[in-house]
Amino acid sequence: MGEIGKITGKRPPLGAHTSIAGGVFTAIRQGVEIEADVVQIFSKNQRQWLGKPYSEEELETYFKEREETGIHPVVIHDSYLINLASPKKDILEKSIQAFADELQRGITLKIPYVLTHPGSHLGEGESFGIKQIGESLKQCWEMAGDDNIMIILETTAGQGTNLGYTFEQIRDMIDSSGIEPHVGVCIDTCHIFAAGYDIRSKEAWEQTLDRFDEVIGLSKLKLFHLNDSRHELGSRKDRHARIGEGFIGKEGFETLLNNSRVNHLPMILEIPGGLEAYREDLILLRTFRNAIDKS
């Protein structure tokens, strides 16, 4: 089992993206409410470039809640404003500063992963964007200056000029960064399905994971976002659905949770419907996981 699996004692550790409104510790309290093993958070208001520092009281409460509940935030999702591929100098500079700040917040909160959507080339071309992302990642990493944090690139659906919708693009971003040991990958199930990778059956999952291993390497895969898709395979549309209510279907998710190659990794819901939907879909996913536990 991976490090997070050891912490939670669950295989796989299941959770969701929870809110920090009212304080970063709120995310853990919501995790308790939905009976999560782990959670994903924003480190600050996701619609702002920079956020205010955490107070000593907020941090004290946060670490106390972690210890008492056993729920560990495993990943920070960065601000939606950040575009590490931007050809616009002012936006790129703001993005680099903001992402470096996200990394530093991860260090402060003792969260191992900080995740970003790789970025959009905005018409300048994919080669330009991939190279820009690599350079930006290196700069951000050097600004953060701590080996205890890992950057996670999330696979995308490929909508518009968004990059990261093929495993080859993700590989090239990592290779061009010069900080390969400090960059990992998150597979978003909705995104890769929309990008054209079939995951609806055991055979399809094996082919997709084989391809990921061949191009990037499974050792680089650190977590999953679990989302069904409102649109069909290869649609290039990023529209999440609840588990089993989209075009991927329940079999795709049950297969994933039973796959011993990857089912030690954290799996985070990002579905519509709020806390109640999270709670219900975690119950559903646990029926898949319980089949593993009893085997």
What does the pLDDT profile of the chain (295 residues) look like in tens digits?
Answer: 345 545 556 678 999 999 999 999 999 999 999 999 999 999 998 888 988 999 999 999 999 999 999 998 999 999 999 999 999 999 999 999 999 999 999 999 999 999 999 999 999 999 999 999 999 999 999 999 888 899 999 999 999 999 999 999 999 999 999 999 999 999 999 999 999 999 999 999 999 999 999 999 999 999 999 999 999 999 999 999 999 999 999 999 999 999 999 999 999 999 999 999 999 999 999 998 766 555 4
pLDDT at 7: 52
How far, in Å, CA of 205 to CA of 226, rounded? Answer: 14
Domain extent, residue 76, equals: 3-293
Report cis status (omega within 30 of 0) of the bond before 118.
no
The size of the chain, in residues, is 295
Place of tokens 């499974």: 218
Q: Scanning the structure block, which residue is given the tokens 């931007």? A: 86
The residues annotated with a catalytic role in the active site are 47, 77, 80, 117, 154, 188, 191, 225, 238, 240, 270
CATH number at residue 168: 3.20.20.150
Rg over alpha carbons for the chain, rounded to the nearest Å, is 18
Instruction: Please report, to the nearest 10 degrees, the dihedral formed by the alpha carbons of residues 146, 187, 278, 230 taken in order.
Output: 140
- Dig out the tokens for 129 from the structure: 């964007």
Ranges assigned E (strand) in 70-219: 72-77, 113-116, 119-120, 150-154, 162-163, 183-188
Among 164, 275, 268, residue whose Cα is nearest residue 226: 268
Predicted confidence at residue 295, as pLDDT, reads 45
Single pTM value for the model: 0.94
Q: What is the count of structural domains for the chain? A: 1
In 117-254, beta strands by DSSP E? 119-120, 150-154, 162-163, 183-188, 221-226, 228-229, 240-241
Q: CA-to-CA distance for 42 and 24, rounded, in angstroms? A: 9
Q: What are phi and psi of 25, to 5 degrees?
A: -70, -20
Answer yes or no: are the C-beta atoms of 82 and 136 closer than 8 Å.
no
**Residue 252 DSSP code:** H
